[in-house]
Chain A
């Protein structure tokens, strides 16, 4: 699998803390923007020197014109340093990497199921589907702990047209309480999704993806999931980021990060 990734210096042009600890950033990188597709990711160097040592793989949540967009949550020292970057900072980036989402030309309905910050690659996909597939029915199911995470979706709301939006919260601070997968399953069960040429696209914590994959299999709806993994190289060389598939391992960076949910081995995780 060949990629067309390159090194670049990207200028931080927008940085917004949309929720405490969650940032939406826009990076100016014309070459990278022109090459990037929904579902792909970039490898960001935190700072020069050797600590933190490895680059951080970050999903793109948008690309267009001269810029790419990312969303990230502060989880450790690397993302803490990223959160301290000031506008104008030159970010050392490699990318784009990975396969991206497959969109069939005759798609009629896209059901996007996102959990928390996992919404990032699906926002990119929603932008593409909204602008390039005029007659598509776009359904967005978003799960998070509380209502405040709606800011994640709002960061892209001017660029996407959604036919149905359901924000399910664990604490019930939105209209729908519980897990997004349960809400999604009840809609599928009612036959509101799955007729016609439907695709499910999902990204989020692995227990959530496991449930989405189970629903997709049960109702025979083709489903693609975007996976997250610790990575060293991003190019498919080190074999550090593998995931279990039926009959072996696949590299999340080079064979994914988007996989058909039916090829993954969901029994061990």
Chain B
């Protein structure tokens, strides 16, 4: 990992990262949960747990269930809320030589705007990642991210509220990811990250009840990887801003697939639950791949897909 000959650095939306490996929102808490396994300084970037204006308790348990090659979760975006996050969690995150990207969400456009404004002036925050997969309470609870016009409107308002690099995280639960991505780009996003989880459901046949208290949840893990990869590929055909790929990445081989189709960086999430050492193994594996291919830098891999 310290081989100076290989350059894994990448700059996305003005965020300079040592390497393309980012830890995904919701998998890494506020940066401290994996302290005994991972040196945060080796990471390309840390994306925090999703933050809301007020603290959120999340959904009642059961919140998770194992599925074939994956898991379903309905955590319900439990978080400490904006002000406690800034006061209690940011001091820890500031210690590392790793960009901190704050994921945030709201239930109205006004929420997103308030969050973006407040987070912009906090020391140590390098960028923002807007989770637009949440229901818009004022529009009958339809997810912002499933409608191109709504996705565009919320992105435009956030854009005006912050000068920080703005990544918009897209939901895959749509028919045409390309047109949503395009409208978010046109509204001023600096980069896109995709995909969020796929909505799914598991039923207990003995009780005839859904296993999750929330009935449905978000599917993650290797089960969704080919679906996510296809969506990243389709999105890249429609946008010019950088795309960060995620969805079921467990190994260097998995991450390389996203880079080859054209993602400039990638996020790992669920992989950490199974293998906390995954960041080390993935970075070493990508270096080995570059060496084998005789590439001097990551840019030779990005978009190297042959059709």
Residues of chain A touching chain B, judged by Cβ–Cβ distance below 8 Å, are 2-7, 45, 50-55, 94, 229-244, 248-249, 254, 268
B 109-157 contacts with A by CB, 8 A: none
Task: Select one of A51, A229, A232, A249 contacting B273, CB under 8 A.
Answer: A232
| Chain B residue, CB-CB nearest to A3 | B36
Q: Chain B: interface secondary structure? A: loop
Task: Select one of B70, B273, B277 contacting A238, CB under 8 A.
Answer: B273
**Stretch from B22-30, B82-90, B164-172 forming part of the interface with A:** B22-30
* 30 pairs, CB–CB < 8 Å, chain A vs chain B: A2-B36, A6-B36, A50-B69, A50-B221, A51-B69, A53-B221, A54-B274, A55-B274, A94-B276, A230-B66, A232-B64, A232-B71, A232-B273, A233-B272, A235-B34, A235-B276, A236-B29, A236-B33, A237-B29, A237-B34, A238-B64, A239-B78, A240-B63, A240-B64, A240-B73, A241-B61, A242-B78, A243-B61, A244-B61, A268-B60
Contacts of A241 in B (CB 8 A): 61, 63-64
**Tally of contacts, chain A with chain B, CB under 8 A:** 99
A94–B57 Cα distance when bound, in Å, is 28
Contacts of A233 in B (CB 8 A): 27, 33, 272-273
The 8 closest A-B pairs by CB, nearest first: A240-B64, A237-B33, A50-B69, A233-B273, A232-B273, A237-B29, A50-B222, A235-B33
Residues of chain B touching chain A, judged by Cβ–Cβ distance below 8 Å, are 26-29, 32-37, 57-58, 60-71, 73, 75, 78, 221-223, 250, 270, 272-274, 276-277
Given contacts A238-B26, A239-B75, contact A229 B61 (CB under 8 A): yes
User: B252 to nearest A CB, angstroms?
Assistant: 15
User: A269 to nearest B CB, angstroms?
Assistant: 9
| Chain A residue, CB-CB nearest to B69 | A50
Q: Is the Cβ of B71 less than 8 Å from the Cβ of A237?
A: no
A50–B251 Cα distance when bound, in Å, is 11
Q: Is the Cβ of B73 less than 8 Å from the Cβ of A232?
A: yes
